[in-house]
Each structure stands twice: as structure tokens, then as C-alpha cells.
Structure 1
Amino acid sequence: MSWLPTFGAWEFAAAGALGAATTVLIHLLNRRRHRVLHWGAMAFLQQAAKRNRRVIQVRDAVLLALRTLAVLLFGFALARPYYGSGETISGAKPIHAILVIDNSLSMSYRALDGSLLNKAKQSAKDLGRQLPAGSSISVIAGCGIDRSVPQEPLLDLQAVDAEVDRIEIADTAASIGEMLAAAQAAAAFETNQPQQIVLFTDLQATTWEVPVGPADSAGLVPMQIVDVSPLRRENAWVAAVRVENGFAESRTTSNIYVTVARRGGNTVRQADVSLLVDEQLVGSRSVSLEAGQDSQVVTFEHTFVTNATGGVTYVPIKAAITPDRVTIDDVRHCVVPVLPQLPIVFVDQFGKSGEDVRRGKIGETRSLRRLLRSERDDDLQEIVLSPRFIALAELDSKLLEQAKIAVVAGVSTPADKVSLLRDFVEAGGQLLIAAGGEFSASAWQESAWLDGNGILPGPLTGRMIGATPDDTQGELKPFLLSFESLQKSSLLHLAGVPDESLRSLYAEPLFFKAVEVDAMPESSSVYRTVMRLDSPAGPPLVLERSVGEGRVVFYASGLSSSWNTLPLSNAVVMLDRLVREMIRSTISDRNLTAQSRIQITMPVLARDSVVLLQRPDDSKRFPLAPDYFDRENFGVTLELAYRRGVYSISAVARDASENKSEVDPIWDTEVAINGDSIESDLSKADEVALSTLAQDVALTVASSADEVSFIGTQTTDPGIWWWLAVVVLVVLVAETLTLVIAHRKLRSIREPEWAA
């Protein structure tokens, strides 16, 4: 082992040496600053100052030495020196090289000489050929692989090349912590050879977003990073694709929002944004993306059409922009849930058979029904809604089986329907209860609370607050919505609308009458308040509670009656958003982020069937083994879903024909998988991220495989820099003591001898 240390960051050592030399140079320049003039009148002082000059000279020499040493050692401490085994790549001793190749999305960046991943793979192969004979090599993909069983080191270079070639781009972000953990697992194999890690990466900031702590790097062997990053870091991508409300209604125009982002660059970039539905182009827009950081939302309109009479149909769509150097993220996929009709049952005091608008018999759900009307013609609308607008007495389990949400409003008492509605909610249904009309607070409290076992989200006091204009003889004292309470709910925020405009919007309706909810602490703890009247501490207006797999929402005022002016104001949009959000919560989200395991729940009818999976850009279908996730949930698991696109899953009968592509499935669905949008930001990691890791690991950075030098395992603690820092502190203390002692000495001899 050489007595000379190896520096993790030699630049700091060079800076320390330069600083020490500068200290000496400044001292020499200061000595030349004074001009010597002979003056006879001052000759008698020479002998008096002779002893003072000796003390000053000794003091200056000691201080110069201490200060020079402090600067030099401080630079060495920052350089993180350590002692190695002395075996380099040119030596004859075999080593265990752990090659970690970053294969995250950013490594698909295409430069003039190919993608960054291909560059990293070629560098890894070249490095393997330079190793001494008999060396062991572990090849590790940075992400997108199963790490449950670490692979044993390889000895054959052809096997190493084959393992490197198998690494493909994974549509996900890499993590330095996970890569180091995989490297440590590979280092655990006993090879009796010096070990070193080589990481091939583009040093993307997201890779280093989560700092590596001492626990993660404890016992880690020396590490070198081969930087394969491009000279220019510029990228534009499709950051998000979503449909308004989270679902679409068949034969109704829906808004589709495409978010396009850009990072880097020096000039404005023009890009075409296209929307495709079932691979058919339905619209295109041109956008200008500014240099640096820019993000824009492009809106498309489309009318989805489905022939289904019930359930949810998932329609694949995708947004694309003009390709650039990273082509994978120039496309983003989405599957849109399309409903043939809104799965709602409306129940009020009249129902369809009893409502007569001409005679003033207006059901409490009328304003909400009109608000949720689609753009379809009136005849079709009546066909869709006629069996779903009923009186309470007509409600039965058959109607609820076809619905996802039930709205009960203006009903005096739930009577014998509490158990039926409770079962509906526990099974995953959504229940909206509204007052108004003939609503009796005392009757509902008695029959629907049942100490939390009923269908009310919270207990009622049985009293009313306020009064309608018809019931008031004197001055009206209406309530207003508490805007502060609304701010806590993202549901009631409108995209692109500032808070001041929202405040004005929600200040429009006047509330004259509402049901009083028990707001005592012991009662309010069982429900969550969504909206209040007057102030953040005012009476609850909207509250909710989860019951089983579903949810109950209570609206303490009326939907259509004279209890308030909400139906006459623009703020009525909050009821539309509330109901649509309740519908959306019943629909399974099939838009997922790329990950190692994705579980898809299957219906009961498909449990005894053969399940087939078709991956993106692959015409073949592969069997999946369905199983129970837990005691209740049954389905299939997608393993290593790191390829962007739409995955098709279908279930066919076991006794079907061998040519399963021609068999009608019992059940099928589609899942859209995309990488995290943050991985498309190619920004480079700063020096802080690297220096944090370098505090605990002997770390160097190279720009190519030719610069890599294997040092082998460390024979001394890499924390030698800490001891150097202690020495620097001791030197600084010694400098202070020298100044104090010299000052006292000068004071004791400062009086001239001739003064006596």
C-alpha cells in the first residue's frame, strides 16, 4: 500500500496548496512594503527596539507556519483523502467490479452519437474488457427490474455483454438510494476480490432528489461515477392528459385538457399538440414554448359514443407533441371512463308520477336534475332518466343495483328505507341526502341516525335555523356561505379562477333556512364538515362520512325550494361538482404510474376464467394467474409494468377455443401506464447532492470509461478528512495562543532601557 493518500476530490487539495502558497507570498510581499531610511536622530532608539524586533520576528514566523498549515490541511480535508490497496486497473490482481447502469427515462435522450443508455452500455462493455483476467463483474440495471433475488457475479465477458444488452429503458425515475442498495446486495457475494462500484448515469437531479444518508452508505465500497450526460439539457413533453370531471358521458361533449411542459433551451420552440381517440386523430393545436421553464394547457373537445347500456366503458386516448431528443415522453396515454348515462337515482317527495310543475308540485331534486342534464335531445333524456326519478316508496334494491349514487331530497322521513340505503352505501354506493321540501329534522334524527348505524353522516338536533321568506313576518336574516370553509375543499375550486372571483361567486346565494346539525365535539368527531354558513366556525352546511366502502353526504338546506337562492345563482355549480365528484369516486382509476406491481381487481363473473394480457406495441397475449389480494379482493397482478402505453386485460371462458383472439371475452378492461412527469425534467444534480454522498463514500467522477481507475477496497477509514478538520481546529487555537503570548511579551519589554 502506498503511503500517499488518494483524494476523493483532488480539486480541493489543489486549492488548499494554492491557498498555502498564497499565504507565504503575501508574507513576503509585506516584508518589502517598508523602505529603510537612515536618520541620525533615531539611532539612539535602535538598541531599545532590538529585543522587540526579535520577538516580532519569532511571532511572525510561527504565525506564518500555523496559518499556512491551516489553509493546506483545510483543503486536504475537503478533498476527502483515503488510503487504497494500490491495485489499479492496470495491475494483475483480479477485482470485483459492480457496474450499475442508469436506465431511467432520461437516459433515452438521443445525442448525435446515439442514446445516453447506449453510450453507458458501451462504456460498461469497454470497461469490462479492461479488467484484469479473473475479475468478477456484477451488472445491475438502475431501475425497472426485480431486485428480490440478486444476481451472482459473472466471470465470462460474453455473459457480461449479454447482460448489459438486456438492459432497456424503464419509463420511471431512478433513485440513487435504490441503486446503492442494489450495489450493496451485489457486494455481499463472496468473491475474495477488491470491490468497487461504477455508476453510469446522466446525473439527473431527480435521481438525487432523496439525499443519501449515512445509514444508506454505511460500509459502501469505493464508488466512481461515469458521467454520460449530454452537453445540452433540453426537453419538451406531455405532462398530463385528463378529461373534465374524471369521466365522460356518452353523446355529450367533454373537455379534454393536455398539459405540455418544457425545460431548458435558449429559444422559443414551436410544437404541435395532437389528440387521438382510439388511434384516430380528432384535433391538433400549435403552441409556443418559451425557453427555460414553461407549461401550457391545451383544451380539446370530443364527444364519446358508446353502445353499452350500462356500466363503464374505458376508451383509450393519447396526446402527442412534435418529437424531440426524448421521444418516449412526447406521447402520454389515458383511458377515459365513458358512462352511457349518469348512474343516479333521484328520490324526492313527489317522484316522476307526482310532480306537476304547472300546479306548483315541484320535486326537491328538480333543479339538480336540470343541472345535470346532458346535451342529448329531450326525448332521449326522458328515456334515460324516467326510471331513475322516483318517490321514496318506489325505491327498491333492483334500482339501486343499476346506480352508483342515490339522491334523496325533500323527503319527510326515510321510513323503512334506511336499511336498504345503508346496504347500498356499505357496498360502495354514494348517498346524497338533502333537506328542503317536506324534510323533518326530528323524524330523520329518530329513524336515520341510529347512533351512527343509520344513513346520516352526523346527528341532528331536530331543530331548524333561520326561516324562509314565507314563514317570516319581520326582517329576513339570511346566511351566507363561509368562503374560508370552502377553501379547505379542493372540490369547490375552479381551474383558472382566482380566489377573489370565487369569493364573489360563492357570495351570491342567500340561505334562509337550514337543518341544525349537532356540532358538539363528541358528535362532530364522527363526520367531516365540507362547508359552513357565515364563518369558519359557523353552522355546518355540508358534511360527509364514510360508511363501509361508500360515503354519505348531507346537505342541510334545500335543492329547489325557498330555503335558499342557490338554484338561482351561478354558485349552483358547486352542486354539480359535488355530484360529479361522487360519481367519479365510484369509478376505478385505470390511469396509473409505471411501477413494479400493479393489482387489477376483477368482477365475480370473471373469477373462473383464463385471463390474458396484451402489452403495448405487442400483438401477442400472455396468460396471467389471477389470485386473491386479500380475503375479499380478487384479481391479477401486472409485474414490472415499466413500458408506456395501454395494457389490455381480458377474461375468456376456460372451455373456449384455442384461438382466443376470436372469442368474446367475459370481461375486459384497459389500463394506461405512463412514467412520472418529473422524470422528463433533465436538470442536472447540483454539487451539494454529490458532496453529501462523498462525505461517507470515497467518490470520484469520470467523463468516460477510460478515466476509471479501480482502487480496490479501502484499508483505512475514509473519514480521515474528519481528523484533518480536527487538526485544523487545533492549529487555529495554537495561532490564537501564539498571538496572546507574543502580545504579553511585547508589553513586558516595550519600555526602552534608557528611560531609567
Structure 2
Amino acid sequence: MTSPTLLAIGFANPLLLWGLAAATLPILLHLLNRRRYREESWAAMRFLLAAVRKNQKRIRLEHWLLLLVRTLLVACLVLALAQPFLESTGAVPLLAGRRTHRVIVLDGTMSMAYAPAGTSRFSRAVEYADAYVQGARNGDAISVLMLGDPPRVVIGAPSPNHAEVRQEIEQLRPTHGTGDVDATLAKVREVLDSSDLPQSEVLFLTDLQGMTWRVGEEDDSALKRAVDELERDRANCVVVDLGDAGRSNRAVVDLALDTPIVVRGGPSAVITARLANFGPEVESGVRAQLVVDGKLGPERRVDLPPGQEVPVAFSYRFEDPGDHVVEIRLDEDRLAVDDSRRLAVPVRDHLEALLVNGDYNPEPFQSETDYLAQALSPSEGSDQTPSPIRVDVVTESQLSRRDLGRYDVIMLCNVARISRGEVGAIDRFLRQGGGVVYFAGDRVQVDEANAAIFAGIPGSEQSEGTGFLPARLGEVVDAGGESAEQLARAPEFDPLGFAHPIVSIYQGAPAQVVAGLTGVKTWRSFDLLLPEGSNARRALAFTDGRPAVLTMPRHRGFVVQVATTADDDWTTWPLHPSYPPVVEQMALFAASGRMSQRNVPVGQPLDQAIPDDAPGASATVIRPDGREEPGQLADEGDDGPRFRFEGTDLSGIYTARLGPAPTRELTFAANPDPAESDPARADDATLSALFPRWTFSRWDGGPVDRTAAASVGRRGELHRALLLGVLGLVLGESTLAWWIGRRR
């Protein structure tokens, strides 16, 4: 830390310093009212001159003394109005030594784990905080907070016990999460409001990482408002910058599988990681290694250009069911936390799909679900690739008697109507992470469907209900029939660049393979009417521009809505080779909600649906640092039985053990926000532009100098002393003027 000057003075109202010009008024009045001398001969003049020469020095001294008192009187009054404060290394304790409420805010975000010389920024922040507490005066009270998302109040009520405060600070550990400066400043204000001490001081120990301090964000109004409110509290704010050292960093910023659901013995999964270089120079020969269940796998070496991301792909075949952990690991650099990224991968024996047949017909391939059932679960002897999905077909009337919790995905095919009880059961199923695929048809009662199962306009009362379809059913668009001439006019599928996971398997495929999808003719379909502001996404469109297949997250699951039928009544799709792989991807995508619950960003709670018969007497979570903490098990009404755990402040693997013996284990992975890997910082110019009305002192957080750290921001307000001085000068001026007049 750069040692401060011996004495530094600031002003809360610096514009009032222009009033110091008024201190010249007594001088001007003195000059204007000086006595004018006139020479005149007089016999007794020599006696008077002798008297004047005898008293001249005394009279002149009296005049200058009176002028000085009046000038000081005006100057002190102006300075008092400007509210000066004193910052020093302990100087002038009589003026600046009142009891102070000191609030220490330690930045606990992931970037504070950066260790340029073997010591992390957070460790240095703890050293500064410890030295600062040691240097506090007897009677000062101290509070401690951690900047995070959410912020953590370590010591809220101001504590005068400095030894206990130092113990609490010593036990602090950084998180691997992000920081919410708005919420942290709000907590600081709450802590300040809880104190009745006459003076307050806030010490920020931070690396000023750009993501935390909102550098580059268009909407920073909330942060500016929080800073303005803190400024109105008249707290002395000091920012100790711990982030100067270190401008380079590489990280694994993303990790994903090419399939939403992994099934034992299925095709090899493609594991793709994205590596980023946040530094200004090329990183050559960076090693990326695949690790599965703790076992080292193949590695790749890549060059990382500055400021860019590079994908690295591996393939792996999962042979055993159960929970697995996939990790991509880099050689450690100065920020080791982001040099690896993990995925918790639950591998299933198979998926369970419930097909609801809305138009039953005993003849082969005349029933609504026949083509779909064959595509998802081919019969023995078929030349299709074995499917990971087991199907259970029921009629529309049997739906209400099924336990939906047994299934991963429900596929509704040309269902005429869905009762209120069935809609409620499907809503509960979605809340537990299940998926729904909806095919239209001629038996659908449109008005009833729009009233009962349309999810509604976002933000409306209906959107808070139990509906689940992303789009309203509009008019049926009819191309006229199945003749060759009419089929030629019928719209085909537009894959929209194969951007959606449902059709991404066709990305880069030969033209003749893609034609099996784009050549599908659909002569009859519903016009799907998306509400404004919908978060639905188009997987396929028709060549006339209308949506053909829509997907939307709903609660913890996903919904897929298809504008046409699952059979060949309205479309040629079931007769094309693209039908089996695409409807399989639909089912896998819809069912992926339960897998996505296993992988969360750091700071987001673990939240997993569990079966009704799961052991539920207790839940214990083993954190990445090895500590064990209790989890929560509860039946949350419509959400069903759930496991929850809030303390995901570290990146890594969390293992939940549920119930008494035999225990059931669930594996989760928490990964850091890649924005925290960017070493870009908020410099002085940026802070001044962001917070033009924030008065704070900024200190360079170099090597810890305990004497200087203890005195960071020590400040005393001098206006009360100046006002006492004004009172004394008023009395002194009156007394002095009376005494001088009396002497004359």
C-alpha cells in the first residue's frame, strides 16, 4: 500500500468554499475607512507628534489584531458550512477522534481467488481487514459484510469487541460466485442505520472486477441509486484496490453433452468444452484433459488466441447406469477455480414415455399413436436402431387413472379434451421436471383447449395457472387434400438452420439425408398463435413462415407443441426417414428438465424432484470442500416431494445422501459464472463515470503495511470544532473592540 500523506483534508460541500472570498470584506472595509490625514501647522504639534510616535506601534497592532479576528471569523464560518473532514495517519486526534462505526466489506467473489504471487487477493483482503481492526480506536464499533450474491452479513450489530471481530474475519473464506453490489450496499445501509454512533466509515476491500462492478452494463441505474443512498448517509467510504496485479487468465467457460438424456449402452456422447483466453497474449499448447468419475481420459492441446474461445470435443460411451461426473481440466494458472468445469450426468437404463391415444383404431397403423410408438420403441426384427425409450400407450379415457410420476415424458396425440383434474396432474408433472409433447388433430376441441391448456400471455393471470401449451390454437390451415397437385402446394418443413437441439442432428448431414426432413409435406395444420413476449422457441417452421414445432420451458420441465398430427392423417412425416430420429429427440428434449436440475450455477440452490417412495427421513450433503451439511426434504404441494439445498457457494460436486439405510445418493455439479473469469476491472475513470456523486477515497492495495492499513480512511469531521471557533471569535471580536475603544 502506498503510504498516505501526513494530513489530508476534504470537504463535503466544496462549492461553498467560494464563500472564502467573503473573508476579504473586513480588509476591504479597513482600507476604505482608513483615516485621511491633513497637514496643518499648529503650535503644540510637536507634543502631539511625540505622543503619536510613542503609541503608534500599539495602535497599529490593535488595528491589525482586530482585522485578523474579523477575517478569521468569516473564514471559519464559511469553512464550517463546507463541512471539512480530516483524513490522516492518526494526526490531530483531539479534533478527529470521536467514536466511529466502522463497516468492513470484503469482496468474496470468485475473482478474489486470483493468486499472482501465491497469495490470493482474498487472503490479502483478510490481512488488511485484520490490520484495520487492530488500528481502530477503543470505543469504535465494527461490522463485517461479504460482498456476494446474495451478500452475507457476518457481523451486523456494531461490535466493540475487536478480538472477536478479528476471529470472525480470520475464519472467512471466499465463494466461487458472483457479487451483487446493489444488494450489498443495501445491506451496508441497514447496518449503518442500526448504529447510533456519531461517525461512520465503510471500507471496501475489492479487486474492482468489472463484472461485479457492472462495467459496460447499459442499465446501471439500480447500482447508481444504491451508491447515492449510501452517499446521503454521510459515511466516509474508502475503496482499497486489490486487483492491480494480474491481467491474464484462461478458463473452461462451458461444458455440454450433445444429448439431453444419456442412456446406458447408447451411442457415444460428444462432450464439448469451450476454452477461453482472457489475456492479451496467445496461450500456446494449452492442455485440456477429460476426466470421468475421477479417472483420467484423453487430452487435447490447443492454442488460445487472446480474447477468444476455442471448442474442444471428446467422445465417451457410458456403459453403467447411475450418476457419473464428467470434468474438463486445464493445467492450473493463477485463478485455479475456473481451470476445470464439471457435469453431473445421470445415466438411465431407459426412459419411460406415456403415449395418450386420442383416436383409437384397432387396425394396424390406423390409430393415432401407432407410428409414434413404432418410432420411439421399434418392434423386434425392425431395421431401426434400438431406442432408449420404452412406451406405454393408453387411451384418452385412461389418462386420469395413470400415475404420471412413473414417466419421463407424456405425449398427447389428438386428444379431444383434457379434464381439469388431468390438467392439474400434468401441471404437477411439469413442476417435477417432467416433459410434455402435444400433437394436434381433428378431434381437438379448440376453444376448450385454448381455455384449459394454453399457458397464457406472459405476466397474465392465466400464465400463473395450470395451462402448458406455448401457443394458442388458431384456425386449421388446409392446403386442400392429398392429390399430387395439392401436395405440391402443401408447405414443407423449414429447419431454421438446424439451430434447435431437436433437429441439430441434421447439422452438416448430406443433402439427401436432410431431404428426408425438408421434403415432408403437411397439407393440414393448426396456426399456432404465439403471444407477445413469449419465451417459446421455434424448432421447425413451415415454408409459409408459420411455426411447425415450438418448445418452451414450463416450471421445471419442457413442453413441445406440434402443429400437425402424430400420424399420417394430415402430413407425410410418419412416412419419411426423419420421423423416428426427430420424434425421439422431441421426447429426449422434453424429458431433459430433470437432468438440467443436476447442474446449476454457483449460488443457485439444488432443487430436485424425488419419487414419492424415496427415503425421506433425512438428507445430508457433502460439499466440494468435504464438509457435510443438512439438506431439506419436503412435500411442496403441487411441486411434490423435493430435495433442496441452498449452500452452493463453491464450484464442484455436491453429493446428497437421502434417508436412512438404504441411502439413495444424488450427484450435482455447480459451476462458476464465466464472466467472473474476465480480469477486466473498473478503473478510476470508470468508477467516476459510473458514480459521479459518490465521494470516496481509493487506496492502492499493495503489500500490507499494517500501520498504513490501520489508518485507511481515518477521518474526523471538523465543522463542529469550526463552529465553536466562530462562537469564540465572535465573543473575542466584541471584547477586543470594546477594550480598544476603551483604551482610546
Mapping 1:691-710, distance limit 5 Å? 691-692=688-689, 695-704=692-701, 706=708, 709-710=712-713
**Structure 2 Cα separation of the partners of residues 445 and 590 of structure 1:** 38
What is the CA deviation profile of residues 267-288 of structure 1, one whole-angstrom value per residue up to 9, with x for unaligned ones?
A: 3332211222221223322121
Q: What is the letter of the counterpart of residue 698 of structure 1?
A: T
**Structure 1 Cα separation of the partners of residues 180 and 166 of structure 2:** 24
Mapping 1:285-300, distance limit 5 Å? 285-291=300-306, 293-300=307-314
**SS in structure 2 at match of 1:266:** coil
CA distance 1:402–1:448, shift in 2 (3 Å): farther
Q: What is the letter of the counterpart of residue 645 of structure 1?
A: G
CA distance 1:146–1:634, shift in 2 (3 Å): farther
**SS in structure 1 at match of 2:319:** coil
Of residues 461, 478, 482 in structure 2, which corresponds to 1:465? 478
Q: Is the 8 A contact 2:356 2:395 kept in 1?
A: yes
Q: What is the letter of the counterpart of residue 544 of structure 2?
A: S
Q: Is the 8 A contact 2:624 2:652 kept in 1?
A: yes
Q: Which residue of 1 aligns with 2:655?
A: 648
Of residues 264, 276, 280 in structure 1, which corresponds to 2:279? 264
What is the CA deviation profile of residues 31-59 of structure 1, one whole-angstrom value per residue up to 9, with x for unaligned ones?
A: xxxxxxxxxxxxxxxxxxxxxxxxxxxxx
1:541 CA displacement: 3.5
1:153 CA displacement: 3.3
Of residues 678, 682, 689 in structure 1, which corresponds to 2:675? 678
Specify every segment of 5 or more residues in structure 1 that has no aligned partner in the other structure, as ranges. 14-80, 308-312, 356-360, 654-662, 718-756
Q: Is the 8 A contact 1:223 1:699 kept in 2?
A: yes
Q: Is the 8 A contact 1:96 1:136 kept in 2?
A: yes
Q: Which residue of 2 aligns with 1:330?
A: 339
What is the CA deviation profile of residues 175-221 of structure 1, one whole-angstrom value per residue up to 9, with x for unaligned ones?
A: 33334333333333436353222212112111210543223543141
Q: What is the letter of the counterpart of residue 116 of structure 1?
A: R
1:625 CA displacement: 5.0
Q: Is the 8 A contact 1:318 1:333 kept in 2?
A: yes
Q: Is the 8 A contact 1:505 1:571 kept in 2?
A: no
Q: Which residue of 1 aligns with 2:297?
A: 282
What is the CA deviation profile of residues 691-721 of structure 1, one whole-angstrom value per residue up to 9, with x for unaligned ones?
A: 146533321211145275434355679xxxx
CA distance 1:95–1:572, shift in 2 (3 Å): same
Of residues 236, 259, 262 in structure 2, which corresponds to 1:248? 262
CA distance 1:177–1:692, shift in 2 (3 Å): farther
Of residues 580, 584, 588 in structure 2, which corresponds to 1:580? 588
**Structure 2 Cα separation of the partners of residues 651 and 676 of structure 1:** 29
Q: Which residue of 2 aligns with 1:614?
A: 622
CA distance 1:108–1:305, shift in 2 (3 Å): same
1:125 CA displacement: 2.3
Q: Which residue of 2 aligns with 1:638?
A: 645
Q: Which residue of 2 aligns with 1:234?
A: 248
CA distance 1:529–1:323, shift in 2 (3 Å): closer
CA distance 1:326–1:467, shift in 2 (3 Å): same
Q: Is the 8 A contact 2:558 2:589 kept in 1?
A: no
What is the CA deviation profile of residues 317-340 of structure 1, one whole-angstrom value per residue up to 9, with x for unaligned ones?
A: 222111101111112222113221
Q: Is the 8 A contact 2:108 2:147 kept in 1?
A: yes
CA distance 1:645–1:220, shift in 2 (3 Å): farther
**Structure 1 Cα separation of the partners of residues 477 and 140 of structure 2:** 84
Q: Is the 8 A contact 2:417 2:444 kept in 1?
A: no
**Structure 2 Cα separation of the partners of residues 462 and 228 of structure 1:** 63
What is the CA deviation profile of residues 589-633 of structure 1, one whole-angstrom value per residue up to 9, with x for unaligned ones?
A: 121122275555544334751222222241x64444544657755
Q: Is the 8 A contact 1:90 1:132 kept in 2?
A: no
Q: Which residue of 2 aligns with 1:303?
A: 317
Q: Which residue of 1 aligns with 2:188?
A: 183
Of residues 491, 514, 528 in structure 2, which corresponds to 1:479? 491
Q: Is the 8 A contact 1:84 1:711 kept in 2?
A: no
Q: Is the 8 A contact 2:492 2:521 kept in 1?
A: yes
Q: Which residue of 1 aligns with 2:727?
A: none
What is the CA deviation profile of residues 287-335 of structure 1, one whole-angstrom value per residue up to 9, with x for unaligned ones?
A: 21123x121221121122345xxxxx43222221111011111122221
**Structure 1 Cα separation of the partners of residues 400 and 534 of structure 2:** 28
**SS in structure 2 at match of 1:256:** strand
CA distance 1:289–1:427, shift in 2 (3 Å): same
1:223 CA displacement: 1.3
1:473 CA displacement: 6.6
**Structure 2 Cα separation of the partners of residues 631 and 515 of structure 1:** 33
Q: What is the letter of the counterpart of residue 181 of structure 1?
A: A
**Structure 2 Cα separation of the partners of residues 388 and 324 of structure 1:** 52
1:314 aligns with 2:323: yes
What is the CA deviation profile of residues 478-514 of structure 1, one whole-angstrom value per residue up to 9, with x for unaligned ones?
A: 323467xx5898556749969xx9xx97993242521
RMSD of the TM alignment (CA)? 4.9
Q: Is the 8 A contact 2:498 2:506 kept in 1?
A: no
Q: What is the letter of the counterpart of residue 664 of structure 1?
A: P
CA distance 1:164–1:496, shift in 2 (3 Å): farther
Q: What is the letter of the counterpart of residue 288 of structure 1?
A: D
Q: Which residue of 1 aligns with 2:90?
A: 89
What is the CA deviation profile of residues 82-102 of structure 1, one whole-angstrom value per residue up to 9, with x for unaligned ones?
A: 721567534432544322221
**Structure 2 Cα separation of the partners of residues 529 and 144 of structure 1:** 30
**Structure 2 Cα separation of the partners of residues 248 and 698 of structure 1:** 55
Q: Is the 8 A contact 2:253 2:674 kept in 1?
A: yes
Q: Which residue of 2 aligns with 1:106?
A: 111
**Structure 1 Cα separation of the partners of residues 418 and 195 of structure 2:** 70
Q: What is the letter of the counterpart of residue 712 of structure 1?
A: R
**TM-score, with length taken from structure 2:** 0.68
**Structure 2 Cα separation of the partners of residues 175 and 524 of structure 1:** 31
**Structure 2 Cα separation of the partners of residues 420 and 157 of structure 1:** 62
Q: Which residue of 1 aligns with 2:288?
A: 273
1:712 aligns with 2:722: no
Q: Is the 8 A contact 2:526 2:563 kept in 1?
A: no
**Structure 1 Cα separation of the partners of residues 341 and 534 of structure 2:** 41
Structure 1 stretch displaced more, 673-682 or 419-428? 419-428
Q: Which residue of 1 aligns with 2:74?
A: none
CA distance 1:382–1:198, shift in 2 (3 Å): closer
CA distance 1:701–1:258, shift in 2 (3 Å): same
Q: Is the 8 A contact 2:203 2:239 kept in 1?
A: yes
Of residues 571, 590, 596 in structure 1, which corresponds to 2:598? 590
Q: Which residue of 1 aligns with 2:352?
A: 343
Q: What is the letter of the counterpart of residue 479 of structure 1?
A: P
Q: Is the 8 A contact 2:145 2:154 kept in 1?
A: no
**Structure 2 Cα separation of the partners of residues 168 and 582 of structure 1:** 40
CA distance 1:207–1:110, shift in 2 (3 Å): same
**Structure 1 Cα separation of the partners of residues 188 and 143 of structure 2:** 9
Specify every segment of 5 or more residues in structure 2 that has no aligned partner in the other structure, as ranges. 1-5, 18-81, 215-219, 455-466, 721-744
What is the CA deviation profile of residues 236-272 of structure 1, one whole-angstrom value per residue up to 9, with x for unaligned ones?
A: 1111222223321221121222121120142333221
CA distance 1:561–1:688, shift in 2 (3 Å): farther
**Structure 2 Cα separation of the partners of residues 367 and 176 of structure 1:** 55
Q: Which residue of 2 aligns with 1:119?
A: 124
What is the CA deviation profile of residues 646-670 of structure 1, one whole-angstrom value per residue up to 9, with x for unaligned ones?
A: 11222223xxxxxxxxx321x4322
1:151 CA displacement: 2.6
Aligned length, in residue pairs: 606
1:465 CA displacement: 1.4
